[in-house]
Chains A and B, each alone.
Chain A
Amino acid sequence: MQIEMSRRKFLQGTVAMSVVGGTTISATNLFASNDTHDKKLTITTKTGVAKEVKNIATLCEMCVNKCAAIARVEDGVVTKLDPNPMFPKSKNMLCPRGNAGIQALYDPDRLKYPLIRVGEKGEGKFKRVSWEEAYEAILNGTDKFPGVAKILDEEQDNRSTFLFCAGEGMAEHTFKTFFSAFGSANWLNHSSICLQTVASAYGVTLGAYPQADLDNAEYIIMAGANRAEAIVTPDTMDAFKRTKGRGAKLICIDPRFTNTAAKADKWLAINPGTDLAFVLALTYVVLTEELYDKVYVGENFNGFEEYKKSVIDNQYTPEWAEKITGIQAEDIYQIARDFMAHAPKAVYYPGRRSTFSNNDFQLRRAMAIFQGLGGGIDTKGGLIFGKRLELGVHEGLEPIYARAEARAVDSSKSQKGHSGYADCAVVTDGGSWIGWRNRFLEDRMPYKVRGMFCYKHNPMMNMPNTKKTAQMLKKMELVVAIDTMPSDTVMYADVVLPECTYLERTDPVNTFSGVEPAIAQRNKVIAPMFETKPVIDIMRGLTEKISKPLFEISKKHDEDLQDELANLGEEEIVGEDGNVTKTAATMTKEEREAEVYAEFDLTKPFKHSQEEINAHMVESVYGKEAVEALNKNGVFYPNMDKFYKALSVNEYQYYPEKEKSYSVNGGKPKTPSQKVECNLANLEKKGVDPMPIWKDEYAFSVPGGKFKLLTGRHAQFTQSGTANNIVLRDLMHENYIWINKRVAKERGIAFGDKVEVSSKTGSVTIKAYPTEKIAPNQVFFIHGFGEESEALTWAYKNGGNDNAVIEDIIEPVYGAASMHETNVEIRKV
């Protein structure tokens, strides 16, 4: 009652104005919610009211960037996360998600105890158990599901009958150590639904996936990357301090008018999936007008003449590209000339999460070659490789299991004609997630895969065609999920092991290469809450339980192992006459078994605490002081005490200019030949174009009445991982679908109206945001919303899940998921 005059009233007026009237500056945020403060009024804690205060240096894990943070702990409660300015990668900032990390720690929906499934698979009915009971269920199953022992015994110790998958993170390494020791060949991670094609294309063309020196570049083409919203450190900070006529000219190429476009000097709307034609036309201009750095190309290119001939003979002119891309020819001429005028201090930004279309690999190759034409490689203001500070090693364990099969691929070349495998040309370490899942569902596996271990990974939300993922998880006989939150994937698990959040654990120390390299360590801020544990402790407990029983299964089925055990230390001695004599056994059976078991002892890599392992890895190279520095500051690099200083409240020096590692390879690419590889004959053998060329099938088209569905990221959310974060949700209550304003009007769709978006794969209902920032034949909404797990109070059925609609189209080279190849229909509901 008393709040009659509250600000809410004024603001509602303002919101309406900014949508309808169009020009008023809105003091509030269109997408934020007014209906919050549900029951609990206070979510955040005011700082500075405690008796005991501690500040602990840690690293953020709200996204992949690992920014350095200082946690303020008051009477044992984390009340604030502040940026730790000592880390050159993150400089002195925390983004909104980094600030909201406290809510990940105190999220009431967190997984708190180990759980075992008691209901039907996917139903989300679990019972709370002890850690011992959970490990026992993994080993020996329950009446609802089989354990590892039964499955491995039935599959005669084929370790690859288990799939291991993990999301990106500092402790992914720990889980991968378990995977290696376990002996499976089936590993899948986020790369084929993220940066696989861009990393690989730059890898084969320039020898590494480079960083961009946006601190010194004078001219930046950012195409299909949205650094104002999809924050990458230090790129986001470096770039936008210098745009808008302050040192760096930014050309943004994107089908949507993003926040990056808002900060650019020029935004060019491009037809989705046609960037390759744009780059080829830039290349055409540079080659025909001879604008490229002839000395650099002469010394550092392989296959230049063939590529030049291909680009010119194919007539990839700006006029040709205009028809395909929608970008005017004169703009293409201008950009090509301007880029080369600024080169080598010019960057064609490589991008990251990126497989948007089927030609993505060739696009990234063309971008890398174009960059090379200006000589901006391994040099200040261009693309850089950066220096890396080496760390000591922590030994893993890689036993040889004779019965373990190789990775489950389908090598029948029937489907895509001449490519290397049925679903893609090249199979890499990260694998093709959707390819693997679909093969598994279609029984195109060379052997049975029956169980999976899933660490901090959410296949239900993270890859196209959610229905198929649900089928896959149902078909898996044993699913073990390790996570902090009851995600949609966790709902399908048989055993759930609760990990503590990043603020409750020390993670493997890591090295961050760059112009200003550093080593950084995530330090435990508070003790794990409830019964949660860091993954290294989970691995220790689990391996102590399963190591010996699994060894017994190997003994039963593995003939090599049986031979090894039978040999009690006899040696065969071949005499000069060729006669063979045997020495006597030097060991008892028990001694021999102990010796052999040591090679198979899964507990070995997890014997020490993470703190001890880190100390060892650092001290062996940089000494005790470095260990202490990391524990205290979270960051270390040689000479930090001399180099690091505050220059102003906003600027820090990490290295003096002459100590910066702009160039580590003499300005050359890092390929084995030390040259930019334009023409890759070995790819041709696998059915992949050896040079980037345009094909008619790449052209953009949308059937009348339909829309191309685009997806992307946002500064306030990190995929599904932050969907239940109440403070972030406060900034954007749910995701909205962007639809062109004029089209929306025609169809009678207003802001906030519910629309159904449907494709061949499925449909979602989501609220509309009519805007001119998108083309009439395209729609967009951000990824990570629309969870189906009822255990997520705020994320449950909140907004729409893009992957319920996106078709599972496999990019042909690495089997990545092509995210922007789906057409949808829109209907007001």
Chain B
Amino acid sequence: MARYGMALDYKNCINCKACEVACKEENGILMGADKHRIWVGVKEIEGEYPFLSIVSSSFEPSQCQHCDDAPCQEVCPTNATYYDENGVVRVNADKCILCSYCMNACPYDARYVDDRTMTVDKCNFCSDTRLARGETTTACQNTCPTKVRTFGDLDDPNSEISELLRTREHFSLKSHLGTKPKLFYLT
């Protein structure tokens, strides 16, 4: 029993995409730009050469936010999308009927269709791979060269992520929607 979340020191991110490959290799994800559990958001740079705005070009690593109030879960007619005992938002492929309501409901564009099973898939914090065999962190966290990510239990006041969130300023994406994401961007 835990309440897993992830803090992202996103200013470290160099957009190398090691996390994307690690996720695909660990979790056996399909190839294809539209088949990913994790990505790095990039903005088109502002300005004209050579007067470009450095701040406009930040990299924003992202994945499923594991919302505490997840719109995807609310709209799922078969309860295929559910919260597991660690607060991780999961999809039960056996129950998914590919109505794709969840894909429309998710404000973070975190879901895609796995063409093999014809069900919806997304990041599950490596729950059925790494965590299931007792490892304490995710593939994307583990591999990141510049150590953007800290994964851990938000309910444990002594965890590193709790400590980080106590001591560093942070924000969530689209917080006005009230989804209560468990991905935190450190400033």
Contact = CB atoms under 8 A, between A and B. Distances in A.
Interface string B25-47: 11111111111100111111111
B88 to A, nearest CB: 16
B18 A98 contact: yes
B116 interface: yes
Interface stretch (A34-42, A151-159, A423-431, A475-483): A34-42
Given A7-B111, A25-B41, A650-B150, A261 B14 contact: no
Contacts of A730: 24, 31-33
A257 B52 contact: yes
A559 B46 CA distance: 74
From B20, B29, B139, B150, residue with most partner A Cβ within 10 Å: B20
A96 B44 contact: no
Contact of B33 (A18, A32, A42, A99): A32
Contacts of B22: 94, 99
Contact of A731 (B12, B20, B98, B109): B20
A42 B28 contact: yes
B68 interface: no
Contacts of B136: 649
A597 B28 CA distance: 56
B105 to A, nearest CB: 12
B104 interface: yes
Nearest to B57: A262
Contacts of B27: 44, 46-47
A100 B115 CA distance: 22
B176 interface: no
Contact of B18 (A43, A45, A99, A648): A99
A809 interface: no
A393 to B, nearest CB: 34
Interface string A93-106: 11110111010000
A33 B32 contact: yes
B172 interface: no
A98 B33 CA distance: 20
Contact of A775 (B18, B47, B49, B100): B49
B16 A716 contact: yes
B172 to A, nearest CB: 15
A37 B113 CA distance: 13
B132 A48 contact: yes
From A37, A231, A243, residue with most partner B Cβ within 10 Å: A37
A739 to B, nearest CB: 11
A82 interface: yes
B131 to A, nearest CB: 10
A792 to B, nearest CB: 17
Interface residues of B, number: 73
Given A46-B129, A261-B54, A240 B42 contact: no
A37 B30 contact: yes
Interface string B144-175: 11110111100000001000000000000000
A5 interface: yes
Contacts of A268: 50
B98 A772 contact: no
A236 B16 CA distance: 11
A237 interface: yes
A48 B129 contact: yes
A649 B137 contact: yes
Interface string A655-671: 00000000000000000
A691 to B, nearest CB: 31
A93 B32 contact: no
Interface string A5-18: 11110110010001
B39 A28 contact: yes
Chain A interface residue bracket vs B:
35 or more
Given A10-B109, A18-B44, A92 B142 contact: yes
Interface string B49-64: 1101010011110100
Nearest to B152: A649
Nearest to A7: B112
A95 B43 CA distance: 22
B82 to A, nearest CB: 20
Contact of B146 (A45, A81, A241, A269): A241
A138 interface: no
A27 interface: yes
From A46, A100, A266, A775, residue with most partner B Cβ within 10 Å: A46
B24 A44 contact: yes
Contacts of A465: none
A36 B28 contact: no
Interface in B109-148: 109, 111-113, 115-116, 118, 128-130, 132-133, 136-137, 139, 141-147
Nearest to B99: A5
Contact of B45 (A42, A237, A773): A773
Contacts of B20: 96, 731
B26 to A, nearest CB: 5
B17 to A, nearest CB: 5
Given A22-B44, A41-B30, A240-B12, A776 B49 contact: yes
Contacts of A263: 14
B49 A37 contact: no
A19 interface: yes
A132 to B, nearest CB: 38
B143 A93 contact: yes
A102 B146 CA distance: 22
Contact of A42 (B14, B30, B39, B40): B30
Nearest to A238: B146
A244 interface: yes
A775 to B, nearest CB: 6
B94 interface: no
A329 B8 CA distance: 38
From B15, B18, B34, B62, residue with most partner A Cβ within 10 Å: B34
B98 to A, nearest CB: 6
A753 B177 CA distance: 39
B21 interface: yes
A776 B160 CA distance: 48
A743 to B, nearest CB: 10
A29 interface: yes
B31 A726 contact: yes
Contact of A99 (B21, B35, B129): B21
A19 B31 CA distance: 23
Given A92-B142, A99-B25, A3 B113 contact: yes
Contacts of B15: 228, 259, 262, 715
B115 A3 contact: yes
A43 B24 CA distance: 9
Interface string A615-650: 000000000000000000000000000000000111
Contacts of B141: 649
Given A257-B57, A649-B152, A774 B113 contact: no
Contacts of B42: 18, 25-26, 29-30
A83 interface: yes
Which 4 pairs from chain A and chain B are nearest by CB?
A46-B28, A32-B33, A269-B50, A99-B21
Given A32-B32, A244-B11, 20 more contacts: A3-B115, A5-B103, A25-B42, A30-B42, A33-B33, A92-B142, A96-B17, A96-B21, A99-B25, A236-B14, A257-B52, A259-B14, A259-B59, A262-B58, A264-B54, A265-B54, A266-B54, A269-B50, A650-B150, A727-B21
6 contacts: A3-B118, A36-B33, A99-B22, A261-B57, A650-B149, A730-B32
Interface of A: 2-3, 5-8, 10-11, 14, 18-19, 21-30, 32-34, 36-37, 41-48, 79-83, 92-96, 98-100, 102, 228-229, 231, 233, 236-237, 240-241, 243-244, 246, 257, 259, 261-269, 326, 648-651, 715-716, 726-728, 730-731, 740, 742, 771-776
